Amino acid sequence: MNKKNTTRRETRERRRVRVRSKISGTLVKPRLNVHRSLIHIYGQLIDDIAGQTLVAVHSKSVDKKGDVGSRKGKTAVAYLVGKEIAKQAQEKGIKTIVFDRAGYKYQGRTQAVADGARDGGLEF
């Protein structure tokens, strides 16, 4: 395929497939999947062996009055989503995870979710 004719969605899909071929989540070490939309951000911990979602958090359900440091706007909300995922995971006894950025570049809101999860106590 010609590089000039590929869309952002196609290149993201290629990255997503490449990353997912290498990582998989288990009950002990689930996969933290991140999905971004224009307004909201979603995160879920998935056990790929059983095909179950263990924890799911989205930006609509997060209390937006937390300490986010110097982050602002949607990045601050993404950080709080990561912290909430970590809190709910620790309630279920999950301490380590595998991070799945779903083809998104590791910057901005995707990185903020990862930082929030790390600050919440999860290990990658």
CA-to-CA distance for 102 and 110, rounded, in angstroms? 9
pLDDT tens-digit readout, 23-73: 888 889 999 999 999 999 999 999 999 999 999 999 999 888 888 888 999
Give all domains of the chain, ordered by start, each with its CATH number.
Answer: 3-119 (3.30.420.100)
pLDDT, the chain, mean: 92
DSSP per residue over 70-87, as a string? Answer: T--HHHHHHHHHHHHHHH
pLDDT of residue 3: 66
Contact 32, 117 (CB under 8 A): yes
